[in-house]
């Protein structure tokens, strides 16, 4: 009882960090990774995957934890097996959870179902040689749909096993490609195709491949959205359970010279040729139905020959007429929507969107109307927003607070923490609050954050480390970061400057688009101007000791600084391009680079040479550390 009381007290405390211990990589790496919350439909429970990291990969532990949604008790471990679980989904009656896992005896990840009321171990419900992921219960809870990547032309698991055996027996390992792309980031693409399956849970029948033998999957440009872990068709059941709506492209093979369009499709739950629900110049994703089943919603992004477009919410009455235009209900909201969910009465939408280093919570009528902020949000970021039983849940973190699961008051925006996996460890650390300021460059407001070193004193002088984010369509977030942790970068005694240059998201569509035709020069001027302003504004910064660095697009800009200024004592470039032209020839994102430069390479637009660091190689004087991943094919 004493332990429970102390745990409940920790859960109720706000995030307050005033420790004296400097952060180390060991402390950072030991922070548990708290994944997205999954609220039960009745709103009584929240399940979350938690990974306990280790430098020894064999010692990493990843399990599901369950917490009362009202925070009346601390979370308890729900699974305790080797290997983690992913793609968690509740059944409509809030009794069962389904997930994907590779457990003892499994060659590939399979779907498991755990009965929370019946007790016992989770039951495996699939046994496909190609694996299974992303389970979703049908509205009546009697079936699940899931995804698997299968070999072209196969119709069942037997034919997939034969195809795999035939390939294994081949004496050559050559890859043959007939279209673009051939790689994604650090991985070579294979010829497997993402399919959707439906499995009846009561009659013991084999899963049904809904897309086998369809014309759609034989199209050379067919694909799901590409993620670091593979393709995703984002399937959801229709309200009556008789169909599945999913996201797919039919022109990915044209991605070298044209925008890839992802549209919504519908297929019957017992198979058949899919029907295209959307058409035209939009790109759609994240489909979902309102609880009353009377409307379909999805994200919509329109590039129309531009390098960036806001992500908006589109709505159709359901059932919908294929090809009908949606109502874009956030058309007047100048921010990209990252996630959204509905109240049980189908009257209100809650959504999150980036805004000047934060990801904030907003609300709007489900049929369209004004988008309004929920509460006065000035710290951190929400993510993975979800609703259960009329209550809002999300992850919350900030630059000084590792992610935890919180329950949000939908009226005030105030929240209570449901988990505290990292609170004790983080509380002991000296993590000074972030500082924010703006500067004006060429009549444009540019926002910056600063991280301060442990033991910070206004009376001391500190060197300035300018760190440049990648993207360019991203922003520095007031968020806990593992890979480039702001406080770990500041630990040696640096002030770390993080500037959202032109092209960054979170400041409106025009700000993100203004990088077109000026990919390096303009952003670099803004970064240098922000450094000048920080030195002028904060006497504790030693302007005689400046360094800069970045990764990916931040590496591109670091190389540009090497070519154009000697103000920095040293530079660090990770995964940065040196030659715009040569990167165009090796990247998996060719068309986007043409849009940024304003033309294809062969049209010899001056940007290709005037804003390519290699053009100014004779000016390289600053000592530089250059790093790149061996398999980072983009650079």
**Residue 533 — φ and ψ, nearest 5°?**
-65, -40
Angle at Cα 580 formed by Cα 578 and Cα 583, nearest 5°?
85
Pure H helices in 417-513? 423-427, 486-490, 509-513
Cα of first residue to Cα of last residue in the chain, in angstroms, is: 57
3-class state of residue 341 by DSSP? strand
pLDDT at 418: 98
Pure H helices in 13-88? 25-30
14 has pLDDT over 80: no
193-200 and 123-124: which strand pairing? unpaired
pLDDT band at residue 3 under the 50/70/90 scheme: very low
User: Can the peptide bond before residue 239 be classed as cis, meaning omega within 30 degrees of 0?
Assistant: no
| Most distant pair of Cα atoms in the chain: their distance | 74
Select the more confidently predicted residue: 613 or 181.
613
CB 309, CB 302: distance < 8 Å: yes
Q: What is the mean pLDDT of the chain?
A: 94
pLDDT at 380: 96
Rounded to whole angstroms, how far apart are CA atoms 148 and 133? Answer: 7
Q: Which of 13-17, 188-192, 546-550 has the highest mean pLDDT?
A: 546-550
pLDDT in tens, 380-409: 999 999 999 999 999 999 999 999 999 999
Q: Which of 241-250, 571-580, 595-604 has the lowest mean pLDDT?
A: 595-604
Rounded to whole angstroms, how far apart are CA atoms 452 and 429? Answer: 13
Residues contacting 26, CB < 8 A, separation 6+: none
102 has pLDDT over 90: yes
Joined tokens for residue 134 = 């992303």
pLDDT in tens, 491-506: 999 999 999 999 999 9
CATH class of 432-627: alpha beta
Residue 175 half-sphere exposure, CB side, CA atoms within 13 Å?
10
225-227 and 230-232: which strand pairing? antiparallel
With tokens 């034969």, the residue in question is 162
Rounded to whole angstroms, how far apart are CA atoms 115 and 274? Answer: 33
Rounded to whole angstroms, how far apart are CA atoms 195 and 217? Answer: 8
pLDDT band at residue 18 under the 50/70/90 scheme: low
pLDDT band at residue 219 under the 50/70/90 scheme: very high
Q: Which of 165-169, 289-293, 507-511 has the lowest mean pLDDT?
A: 165-169
A 10 A CB-CB count for 351 gives 21
| Burial status of residue 106 (CB atoms within 10 A of its CB: 0-12, 13-18, 19 or more) | middle
CB 18, CB 455: distance < 8 Å: no
pLDDT at 584: 86
Rounded to whole angstroms, how far apart are CA atoms 128 and 111? Answer: 10
Beta strand spans in 326-380 (E): 327-328, 337-342, 348-355, 358-365, 372-373
Q: Which of 13-22, 112-121, 209-218, 364-373 has the lowest mean pLDDT?
A: 13-22
pLDDT band at residue 82 under the 50/70/90 scheme: confident
**Average pLDDT in the 274-280 region?**
96
Rounded to whole angstroms, how far apart are CA atoms 622 and 466? Answer: 15
Joined tokens for residue 234 = 């984002």
pLDDT in tens, 408-424: 999 999 999 999 999 99
CB 102, CB 109: distance < 8 Å: yes
12 has pLDDT over 50: no
Percent over 70 (pLDDT), the chain: 97
pLDDT at 4: 30
**Average pLDDT in the 596-623 region?**
93
**Average pLDDT in the 501-530 region?**
97
Q: Is the dihedral of CA 538, 541, 546, 549 positive or negative?
A: negative
Residue 321 forms beta bridges with which residues? Answer: none
- Pick from 587, 474, 574: which is nearest to 523 by CA? 474
Joined tokens for residue 403 = 């992610």
10 has pLDDT over 60: no
CB 249, CB 255: distance < 8 Å: no
**Average pLDDT in the 173-201 region?**
90
CB 200, CB 143: distance < 8 Å: yes
Q: Which of 15-19, 274-278, 529-533 has the lowest mean pLDDT?
A: 15-19
Q: What is the dihedral of CA 74, 79, 81, 82, to 10 degrees?
A: -70
pLDDT at 184: 85
311-317 and 327-328: which strand pairing? antiparallel
217 has pLDDT over 70: yes
pLDDT in tens, 299-356: 999 988 899 999 999 999 999 999 999 999 999 999 999 999 999 999 999 999 999 9
pLDDT at 5: 32
Q: Where are the domains of the chain?
A: 432-627
3-class state of residue 183 by DSSP? strand
pLDDT at 510: 97
Q: Which of 285-289, 378-382, 557-561, 630-634 has the lowest mean pLDDT?
A: 630-634
């Amino acid at each position: 009882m004493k332990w429970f009381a102390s745990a409940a007290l920790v859960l109720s405390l706000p995030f307050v960090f005033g420790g004296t211990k400097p952060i180390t990589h060991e402390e950072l790496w030991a922070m548990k990774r708290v994944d997205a919350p999954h609220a039960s439909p009745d709103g009584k429970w929240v399940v979350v995957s938690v990974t306990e990291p280790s430098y020894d990969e064999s010692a990493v532990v990843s399990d599901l934890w369950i917490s009362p949604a009202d925070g009346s008790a601390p979370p308890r471990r729900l699974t305790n097996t080797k290997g983690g679980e992913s793609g968690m989904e509740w059944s409509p009656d809030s009794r069962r959870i389904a997930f994907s896992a590779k457990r003892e005896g499994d060659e590939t990840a399979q779907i498991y179902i755990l009965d929370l009321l019946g007790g016992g171990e989770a039951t495996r419900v699939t046994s496909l040689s190609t694996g299974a992921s992303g389970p979703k219960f049908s509205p009546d809870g009697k079936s699940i749909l899931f995804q698997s990547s299968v070999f072209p032309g196969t119709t069942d698991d037997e034919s997939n096993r034969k195809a795999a055996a035939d390939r294994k027996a081949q004496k050559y390992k050559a890859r043959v490609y007939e279209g673009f792309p051939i790689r994604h980031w650090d991985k070579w693409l294979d010829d497997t195709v993402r399919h959707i399956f439906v499995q009846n849970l009561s009659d013991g029948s084999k899963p049904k491949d809904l897309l086998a033998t369809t014309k759609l999957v034989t199209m050379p440009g067919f694909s799901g959205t590409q993620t670091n872990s593979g393709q995703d068709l984002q399937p959801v059941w229709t309200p009556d359970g008789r169909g599945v709506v999913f996201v797919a492209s039919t022109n990915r093979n044209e991605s070298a010279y044209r925008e890839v369009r992802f549209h919504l499709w519908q297929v019957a739950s017992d198979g058949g040729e899919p029907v295209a629900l959307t058409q035209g110049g939009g790109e759609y994703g994240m489909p979902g139905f309102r609880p009353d089943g009377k409307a379909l919603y999805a994200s919509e992004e329109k590039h129309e020959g531009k390098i960036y477009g806001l992500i908006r919410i589109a709505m159709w009455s359901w059932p919908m007429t294929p090809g009908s235009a949606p109502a874009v209900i956030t058309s007047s909201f100048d921010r990209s929507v990252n996630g959204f969910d509905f109240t049980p009465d189908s009257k209100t939408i809650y959504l999150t969107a980036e805004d000047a280093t934060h990801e904030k919570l907003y609300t709007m009528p489900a049929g369209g109307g004004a988008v309004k902020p929920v509460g006065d949000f000035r710290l951190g970021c929400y993510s993975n927003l979800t609703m259960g039983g009329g209550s809002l849940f999300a992850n919350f973190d900030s630059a000084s607070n590792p992610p935890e699961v919180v329950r949000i008051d939908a009226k005030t925006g105030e929240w209570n923490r449901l988990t505290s996996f990292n609170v004790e460890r983080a509380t002991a650390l000296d993590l000074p609050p972030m500082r924010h300021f703006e500067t004006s460059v060429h009549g444009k407001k540019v926002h910056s954050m600063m991280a301060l070193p442990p033991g910070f004193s206004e009376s001391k002088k500190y060197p300035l480390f300018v760190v440049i984010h990648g993207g360019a369509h991203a922003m520095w977030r007031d968020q806990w970061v593992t890979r480039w942790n702001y406080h770990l970068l500041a630990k040696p005694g640096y002030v770390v400057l993080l500037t959202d240059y032109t092209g960054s998201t979170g400041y409106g569509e025009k700000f993100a688009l203004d990088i077109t035709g000026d990919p390096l020069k303009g952003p670099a001027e803004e970064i240098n101007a922000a450094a000048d302003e920080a030195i002028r504004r904060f006497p504790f910064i030693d302007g005689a000791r400046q360094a800069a660095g970045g990764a990916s697009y931040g590496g591109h800009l670091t190389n540009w600084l090497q070519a154009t200024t000697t103000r920095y004592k040293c530079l660090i470039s990770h995964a940065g391009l040196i030659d715009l032209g040569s990167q165009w020839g090796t990247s998996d994102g060719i068309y986007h680079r043409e849009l940024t430069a304003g033309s294809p390479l062969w049209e010899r637009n001056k940007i290709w040479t005037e804003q390519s660091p290699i053009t100014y190689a004779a000016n390289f004087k600053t000592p530089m550390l250059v790093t790149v991943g061996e398999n980072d094919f983009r650079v």
